[in-house]
Each structure stands twice: as C-alpha cells, then as structure tokens.
Homo-oligomer: A and B are copies of this chain.
Amino acid sequence: MMRPLFSRCAPRAAAFVAPRRSPLGLFQAARQYSITPEAASETKLQDIDPSQLVINKASNPKPLKKAEDLIFGRNFTDHMLTIEWNKTTGWQKPHIVPYQNLSLDPATCVFHYAFECFEGMKAYKDKAGQIRLFRPDKNMERFNKSAARIALPNFSSTALIDLIAQFTKLESRFIPEERGYSLYLRPTMIGTQKTLGVGPPGSALLFVIASPVGPYYPTGFKAVSLEATDYAVRAWPGGVGDKKLGANYAPCIVPQREAMSRGFQQNLWLFGEEEYVTEVGTMNFFVAIKNKQTGQKELITAPLDGTILEGVTRDSVLSLARERLAPEGWNIVERKYTMKELDEAASEGRLVEAFGAGTAAIVSPVRAISWKGKLVHCGLKDHEESGEIATKMKNWIEARQYGDDPHEWSYVC
C-alpha cells in the first residue's frame, strides 16, 4: 500500500508543512500533528531512543511566578517534550521544543473517540539542589498499561524516564526549593490519526508538559467532607477504571459538582448494591479501623480488582505501612469494604481515621461522609485536621520524595 502522505511526517524536518494563508489573512498552523490513516506496514518498529533527542530552546524564557501564586496545572514551563509515533516505523526522534499549541485536524481521533491517556508525577529539588523524580518506573508501567488498553503504542520505560529526567533538568529553574513545592509533570499520549472510522490509531503523539506547583495544604492539613455518590458509578468489572484514561475523568465532573453544591468538597465513589467503597474523587481511599472482633487496628484499602486505579501513592502508603506500621501491631489489608461497615465502625467508635491518597495531595484527611442522609464521622476530633496515620504517611513519603530519607524510590535526574 502506498503512503504518499507519510513522508510528510517521518523525518522531522519534513513534518512542518509550509505556511499558507488562512482565509482571514493570517498564517495557518504550521505544525501538523494529525497523520493520514494510510500508514500501514509490517516493518520492525522503533522504540523511543533518548540518544536521538533534539533540543530547540525557547528564545524568550518565561518570567517565574511567585511561589505563593502557583495554581495547580495553570502555568507551564518554557518547553515541552514531544515524541511522535506511527504504525509504520514506530517512535520517532524525541524533541524538546518551546511550549506551544498542538495543531490538529478536526477529524483527529483524539477529539472524537477519546484516544488519550496520561500520567501525573512530580519532580522535587532536594537540599543539595539535585532534581528527583518519585518512583517514575511505576508511572511508566501504568502509562504503558493505559495506552495498550486503548490500542495506543507502548514504549521502553527507562527510555522515557531518561528523557523526562533531561526535560526536567532543563526546566530546573521552575522548581521552587521550598518544601512542599514541586514540578508537576504530565506525560500524555493522544491518538493523532485523522479519520472518523473507529479503529486502532495509526499514529500517536506522546508529550510531556510541566507545571510548577505549591503544597496542596499551604497552611497545614485541612480535612474534607465527602458525599457518597449513589446515582453514578465510576468504574466496573471489565471496564477501564483501573487505567489512567481521559475517558475516566470527564464523567466524574457532574457527581463532583453535585457534591460541592451540597457543601461537600469531594464525592465518594461506591460500587454495587453492597455499596463497596472504592475511590474518593480522583484519589484512592484508605480507612483505619479497629477490628470488631479482635480490636486489632487495620489499615484498609480496596483491592486492585479492575475498578481501582493503581495509584503510585496508594502503593507507597501500603508499602510504608507494611514496613513501619505492621511492626507496631497494625494489620495492612487490601480488601473490599462497604459503606455500611464504615458506618457501623463509626457508630461504635472503631473508625480511627480515613484519607484519600494521590500524587497531588499525597494524603487528604477526611472528616465525614454524607451517606443515606446521615453524616458518618471518620474519627477526627473537631479541632483535628488530620489523623495520625495520614500525618505520618505524608511525612514519610515527602522524606523520600525530597531525598531526606534516601531510598530507591527516589530517582536522581
């Protein structure tokens, strides 16, 4: 099969089409990320190759924002990392280019069929001024799983970590040195094939953008209250709720907005007639309970049964709990648990604490859950904004993120 248009996309130099006049007298988008669907062959595909990285530095570096003015995900660094893929030759040369708009044909499959997945990770500056990533291998592993689930391409995790590290070092000046600050990194993959036929994308774009962020709780923890959602379901067995797909996010907004309209900060996702507790907003969820029979303290989170996102923070909390809480007598458990069980524990004074866990906040303590018209109190006293476990976890994880507690989880760029 001939691919007359493919040559426009393969060598980077040819990937920029000549500018042409728009009907309004201005120049049209130069960068063509949308690829025609003709590409198809059986040749061996290239993996991502960091040695081929091409860097084009921005000529007008942005002024830095004051640390206290940073808002999550609104301001971005000078550059972005981009890597194109097509099904004929695989991954193309990686590029670091000035942060810029994507120019895409309106028929591009990402706009119609949600061929998109992403990761959320952070880079930290340690006391020695080194830049550190936190467990980037976990993010890459999940990124590949997410991509495969929607027929987007896979890649070498170490290759992309290498490139992200180079990109992050280039943006070093955007990472505030204060504790709690970091550079939020957003690796994203989108299908770029331009056809309305529903099929596996023949081309894709992987890009990484970076946004300097401040601490989630600038003045210390602030416990949130949740509304248990009983009319909408986030994920289900055989679905894609365990993958970090764009598809899982837009449908969450209305339940979230509904909860907020009634004065709750987040919604709590339940599943099934049993009302299993699954996730909170866009975070995993943990509860600390005293066992009804034995009185033993248990840290419980929902198991990875296909409906739960495989959170990196979730895994870190479990790992640290097994390392440091289990010796103190805690039982660390991944199992299904119901809202009824929480309610019973709360009413019997056995619900010790509850918190969300995710990259943005690390942990997010929960004061109460609105469920079936009543408020289930999660163990905090009125003057408390966090329980003991949440506080410990935040400190333990931050210590590893910032390199104070040297550990293999921290990747020095």
Contacts and interface: CB of A to CB of B under 8 A. Distances in A.
Interface string A225-261: 0000001110011111000011111111110110000
Given A28-B30, A57-B23, A253-B151, A118 B112 contact: yes
A64 interface: no
B31 A30 contact: no
A26 B19 contact: yes
Given A106-B188, A188-B111, A73 B250 contact: no
A22 B26 contact: no
Contact of A253 (B18, B104, B105, B198): B198
Q: Which of A30, A150, A196 has the most CB of B within 10 A?
A: A196
Contacts of A73: 107, 195-197
Nearest to A189: B111
A207 B106 contact: yes
Q: Which 9 A-B pairs have the closest CB atoms?
A: A73-B196, A233-B238, A114-B246, A29-B29, A247-B247, A113-B249, A27-B27, A236-B236, A150-B250
Interface string A368-395: 0000000000000000000000000000
A76 to B, nearest CB: 6
Interface stretch (A40-48, A92-100, A174-182, A314-322): A92-100
Interface of A is mostly: loop
A50 interface: no
Contacts of A100: 22, 28-29, 106
Nearest to A17: B26
Given A29-B31, A56-B24, A250-B116, A200 B240 contact: no
Nearest to A117: B250
Contacts of A184: 196
A257 B202 CA distance: 14
A308 to B, nearest CB: 15
Interface string A291-302: 000000000000
A411 to B, nearest CB: 22
A219 interface: no
A103 B102 contact: yes
Contacts of A197: 71-74
Contacts of A115: 250
Given A111-B188, A112-B118, A113-B246, 4 more contacts: A114-B246, A114-B248, A198-B282, A247-B250
Contacts of A245: 114, 247, 250-251
Given A29-B103, A101-B103, A247-B247, A150 B254 contact: yes
